[in-house]
Amino acid sequence: MLNIDNKMNNCVLGTLVFLGMLCVSANTSFAESETLKRLRKQGYAKVAVANEPPYSDIKSDGYVSGAAPEVTRAVLKKLGVNELRAQVIMYGAMIPALQAKRVDMSTSGLYIKPDRCKSIIYSEPDLCGAEAFAVPKGNPKNLATYEDIAANPSLKMTTCAGCAEEKYALERGVKKSQIIYFTDPPSGIKMLQQGRVDVFALSGLGTQDLLKKTKDPNLELVMPVTGVPMGCAGTAFNMDDKEFRAEYNMALAAIKANGEFAAIIEPYGFSAEATATKSYLSQCPDGK
């Protein structure tokens, strides 16, 4: 009899805890951040993007698509913000734009990195992928790692200023003088075609997409780059927007749970399963 009573008590207690959680959830859902109130009132969010398919892709008519903006559109719609107004900003200028509040967020494959977490905050990861090199056909310099580039000071590589690939290179011994920065990925591939650089470095899917569009049989893909961790990106916010970031994360979790997230990113070549294995704090242990 005692066991039955204990079980009943546990059952009642569990039900009360569950109902309490529902009440807390219901109450917090009505407490909007000031940022979300503003965005709902004006009907749009200003979002920094880069032009790096398949992360983000600027069409000839100016419409911004790609995996990252489409995920953000879906999240914003769930939050009651119906329009994403994109501003094309180079990666190296995105953090200053967020800090100065010239944009409300950034979504374009800006990788979550501990040093960046000192200046901005991120959503939970939305896009994860391997790193890649583009090299001349046959990979004549036998480049599989950044250490291979560092070992030969006469080699030149190209990537974008402020990109994760620049940091990977410098951390692994590549000298600043070995890096020639491109203004956009197609101009970097042109440098490789012209022989001005020996290797082009960027995200795996971005490099793969670019080579597919370039259709140059004299170039080939090296993926993944050995010794470099899988990079994960997230939507980035100003440090003052922690409440809005929490609201964004709740809506992101909802579209991940109902399958909408996978339906958005997988046609672009990304894996929802890979993203599910990562968390913001695993990428930025000291993040806030």
Q: Tell me, yes or no, whether 18 lies in a domain.
A: no
Q: Tell me, yes or no, whether 7 lies in a domain.
A: no
The answer on 199 and 58 residing in a single domain is: no
133: pLDDT confidence band, cut at 50, 70 and 90?
Answer: very high
C-alpha distances (whole Å) from 80 to each of 37, 74, 85, 160 are: 10, 10, 15, 35
C-alpha distances (whole Å) from 63 to each of 57, 108, 109 are: 8, 14, 17
229: pLDDT confidence band, cut at 50, 70 and 90?
Answer: confident
Using the structure block, give the residue that is written with the tokens 């980035």: 236
Note down the domain range covering 97: 34-128+232-283
Q: Tell me, yes or no, whether 28 lies in a domain.
A: no
pLDDT of 175 higher than 80: yes
Q: Tell me, yes or no, whether 227 lies in a domain.
A: no
CA atoms within 13 A on the CB side of 234: 28
Query: Could you give the CA distance from residue 91 to residue 161 in angstroms, rounded to a whole number?
Result: 7
The answer on 166 and 205 residing in a single domain is: yes
The answer on 239 and 124 residing in a single domain is: yes
What pTM did the predictor assign? 0.79
Query: Could you give the CA distance from residue 285 to residue 19 in angstroms, rounded to a whole number?
Result: 33
Q: Tell me, yes or no, whether 19 lies in a domain.
A: no
pLDDT for residue 51: 87
The answer on 108 and 236 residing in a single domain is: yes
Q: What is the CATH number of the domain that holds 250?
A: 3.40.190.10
pLDDT, tens only, 58-100: 888 889 999 999 999 999 999 999 999 999 998 889 999 999 9
The answer on 209 and 250 residing in a single domain is: no
The answer on 181 and 65 residing in a single domain is: no
pLDDT for residue 108: 87
The answer on 135 and 123 residing in a single domain is: no
pLDDT, tens only, 183-218: 999 999 999 999 999 999 999 999 999 999 999 999
14: pLDDT confidence band, cut at 50, 70 and 90?
Answer: very low
**232 - beta bridge partners?**
128
Q: Please give the structure tokens belonging to residue 103.
A: 């944009």
The answer on 49 and 67 residing in a single domain is: yes
Q: Tell me, yes or no, whether 176 lies in a domain.
A: yes
The answer on 42 and 109 residing in a single domain is: yes
What is the rounded average pLDDT of the residues 6-20? 39
Number of domains in the chain: 2
The answer on 52 and 102 residing in a single domain is: yes
The answer on 252 and 215 residing in a single domain is: no
**135 - beta bridge partners?**
220
Which of 190, 222, 254 finishes a domain?
Answer: 222
The answer on 166 and 38 residing in a single domain is: no
Query: Could you give the CA distance from residue 201 to residue 99 in angstroms, rounded to a whole number?
Result: 27
Which of 185, 200, 222 finishes a domain?
Answer: 222
Q: Tell me, yes or no, whether 17 lies in a domain.
A: no
Q: Tell me, yes or no, whether 22 lies in a domain.
A: no
